Structure 1
Amino acid sequence: MLGLMVITVLPHYGKILEPESTVSVALVLHGIFYLGWFVLFMVQSHLVAGGNIPLHRGLGYTSVWLFGILLFSGTGLLVEVMQSYDPGWDSGEVAARASFAWGILHTLVCFSIFYMLGVTFRKRSHLHKRFMLLASLSMISASVTRVAYLPEIPAAATKLSLLLTYGFLLTPILIDRWHFGKVHPVLKWGLPTYIGTQILCVTVLPTTRVGQILAFPF
């Protein structure tokens, strides 16, 4: 998961080295904390696997800070996108930009809900670990789509990237089924709900007049 995040972030950070780079400091910091979340998730997973629960709990407080920072910086990016409307855009551009705004909002909402549920059920490990996994997975699509929709990426590759992303999201369900013979309700209902609402937000709402107005209210 961490490797996938690094790969999807690198194309955007490469733009920093360009002479006429317009990458903002806020975006750079957001990316650093974004990767930091997945580093922490990897470390926490290894601590649990190794039975070091006391240190796992201690590092858990770090996730609270990271969650707050990511929520704050992510909201800032959303507002920036919502304020970027240009009357000169054609209908296709408006829909694409609205899809980007709705996608960010969907990620922020799902990430927040899954994380808070993970914290709430921190004393019930079978619930806690799956909600934390969903919180992390909820940010993957946002990262992959930023690369999939780059101008230099062929349309066929874009569709394949998105298809593989959903396949990756469904991996935990297959793992649960393989190890336990059944799928835990958190994954059974959480992942399909996440995927379904994301499709609604990035493909349906942006094509409607109401969805476009809400995406660019400023």
Structure 2
Amino acid sequence: MIQQALPARGSRFFAISAMAIAALVVLSFPLTYFLPLLTGRTSFALLAHLHGLTFFAWTGLYVVQTQLVRRGNIRLHRELGIAGVALAGAMVPLALWMAVTAAAAREANGIARPFEFSLYNVIDISMFAVAFGWAVYEAQRRIEWHRRLMFVALLNLFGPAFARWMLKLPLPFPWVDMSPNLIADAFLLVLAWHDRKWLGRVHPVTLGAALILIPFHAVEPLIARSAAWNAIAPTLLGFW
């Protein structure tokens, strides 16, 4: 009985935050995807649809998974975890493929520094893959590590999605570029508060993610615009 109750301890935070983040993700795409799709103003490639479908599906599954844990249905939660692994396995190559396609389109349109935004694509999906893979490894070992690593994986999807709104604001560089991910990182501060409340300390995953992601996201725009990155990015993405 104790072992069945432990996974649900403190799960209300993850269930509620999952719904809030998922709602913000969905609300980030009306102008750039949903409305153009419904009105027919923009024709999207099959790659874009597959990319969107898998990322929305994984986010929706994360919401379902946190609700299952909150209700104590750990068995179904574990069974559905297989679908999460399958989706993640498709998301990583689709995201990299999308990054290469977007960079090629910017280069063809003569945009200065066509590989600048490729850094965000590569880092975000890489951090997602690391956090998700580690979370899967911890699923049967340390449940509190698993929860927080999955939460970090979600945040690495939320930042790029929310950028659709932030990039429309009249903010100067580098604030406009760093703000989406820093807003996502703010959820780590809320998670730290949750940790102190439920665990009496900030969990190592929460602390480690904050110490790594927040400083990096603050300097990421400078790296993305640097001559060094724009020199190595074409080779890294297979253009040369």
- Which bin holds the TM-score, normalised by the shorter protein? 0.7 to 0.9
Q: What CA distance in whole angstroms lies between the structure 1 residues aligned with 2:160 and 2:177?
A: 15
For residues 38-117 of structure 1, the aligned pairs below 5 Å read 38-84=59-105, 85-86=107-108, 88-89=110-111, 93-94=112-113, 97-117=114-134
Greater than 6 Å deviation, 4+ residue runs: none
Partners of 1:144 and 1:161 within 8 A in 2: no
Aligned twin of 2:203: 184
Distance in 2 of aligned mates of 1:75 and 1:160: 21
How many residues matched?
A: 210
Residues 146-201 of structure 1, C-alpha deviation per residue, up to 9 Å, x if partnerless? 33114xx333795896354432343212221233221000110123312333344x
Distance in 2, Cα, partners of 1:70 & 1:111: 10
- Alignment gaps of 5+ in structure 1: none
C-alpha offsets along residues 8-39 of structure 1, whole Å, 9 cap, x if unaligned?
12222122245551422211221122111111
Q: Are residues 29 and 127 of structure 1, via their aligned partners in 2, closer, same or farther at CA, if it must alter by over 3 Å?
A: same
Q: 1:113 deviation in Å?
A: 0.4
**Which structure would you say has the larger RCO, counting Cα contacts within 8 Å and 6 or more residues apart?**
1
Gaps of 5+ in 2: 1-20
Q: Which of 144, 152, 173 in structure 2 is aligned with 1:126?
A: 144
State the Cα deviation string for residues 119-158 of structure 1 (Å, max 9, x = none): 11111211111111111111111111133114xx333795
Task: Say if 1:23 and 1:155 are closer, same or farther in 2 by CA, change over 3 A.
Answer: farther
Is the 2:138–2:145 contact (alpha carbons within 8 Å) kept by the matching residues of 1? yes
- Contact kept, 8 Å, 2:25 with 2:158, in 1: the verdict is yes
**Pairing 1:139-218 to 2, within 5 Å after superposition:** 139-150=157-168, 153-155=169-171, 158=176, 162=180, 164-200=183-219, 202-217=220-235, 218=239
C-alpha distance in structure 1 between counterparts of 2:65 and 2:101, whole Å: 33
Closer, same or farther in 2 for the Cα pair 1:119/1:19, shift >3 Å?
closer
